[in-house]
Structure 1
């Protein structure tokens, strides 16, 4: 993103945490694609959500990721949920933990929300595994 040298310390901290959780390529893409209309919201999310809240010492990133999965399921925010499933995996949340979290959302958020979350999580986990699968070394004996 252009002009990061002029950004606040919290914005720069937010960029670092956001990249750690969501992946550098994803964050760079989102920020680079922001236009004049959407740039302010991307800057606010980076500074406040990531630089202020995600950076607080009271919870680790893994716990914050698990909370986000439950909240995004409850709010039925499918596109955000997929990104945060990837982020949760990046933060060390296991597939089994994601499954348990989503099972619990069925009771408190309702079956339709949980079923949709399971569909999204399953697709996202499969894609994540494929992307992070060890590649065969064609030169190995």
Structure 2
């Protein structure tokens, strides 16, 4: 396989993983926001993040989702956290597992970061009908 064929394979793998993780509606919205300025970043995210990293063996997607929730909490990145809580649910994480991950982050990342992440996760759980 030459480099061009490899890039096409990675791109299709990244797109497939992203679709499986986030769903068709997420891709539709993401694609609608694509323009000549951000296209390179969108391609990078699909190719590297989802094609080359999320597409690897070694740990399963549920474990990757748990890691992302903890990392995004540590970095206080609540925008992407919302998407990754949704992805974690798609990958088999239960609300109780997400709660335990976020509680664990309170100890290591600080209470303010965990509190904000709990708020984001609660919003997602309510939207999905998993929390009253």
Following TM superposition, by how much is the alpha carbon of 1:129 offset from its aligned partner in structure 2, in angstroms?
Answer: 2.3
Q: Which residue of 2 is the match for residue 46 of structure 1?
A: 46
Residues of 2 paired with 1:129 and 1:62: CA distance?
A: 21
Q: Which residue of 2 is the match for residue 74 of structure 1?
A: 74
Contact 1:73–1:113 (Cα < 8 Å) also in 2: yes
* Runs of 4+ residues over 4 Å off in structure 1: none
Q: Which runs of 5+ in 1 are unaligned?
A: 1-6, 131-141
- The two structures, once aligned, show a CA RMSD in angstroms of 1.1
Q: Trace 1:96-135 onto structure 2 (pairs within 5 A).
A: 96-129=96-129
CA deviation vs aligned residue, 1:87-129 (integer Å, no higher than 9, x gap) = 0000000000000000000000000000000000001111022
Q: Which runs of 5+ in 2 are unaligned?
A: 1-6
Residues of 2 paired with 1:37 and 1:113: CA distance?
A: 31
Residues of 2 paired with 1:129 and 1:63: CA distance?
A: 23
Residues of 1 paired with 2:46 and 2:129: CA distance?
A: 27
Residues of 1 paired with 2:128 and 2:46: CA distance?
A: 24
Following TM superposition, by how much is the alpha carbon of 1:31 offset from its aligned partner in structure 2, in angstroms?
Answer: 2.1
Contact 1:31–1:39 (Cα < 8 Å) also in 2: no
Residues of 2 paired with 1:34 and 1:91: CA distance?
A: 26
Decide which structure has the larger Cα Rg and report it: 1
**Tell me, what secondary structure is at the counterpart of 1:81?**
helix
**Tell me, what secondary structure is at the counterpart of 2:36?**
coil
Count residues with an aligned counterpart.
124
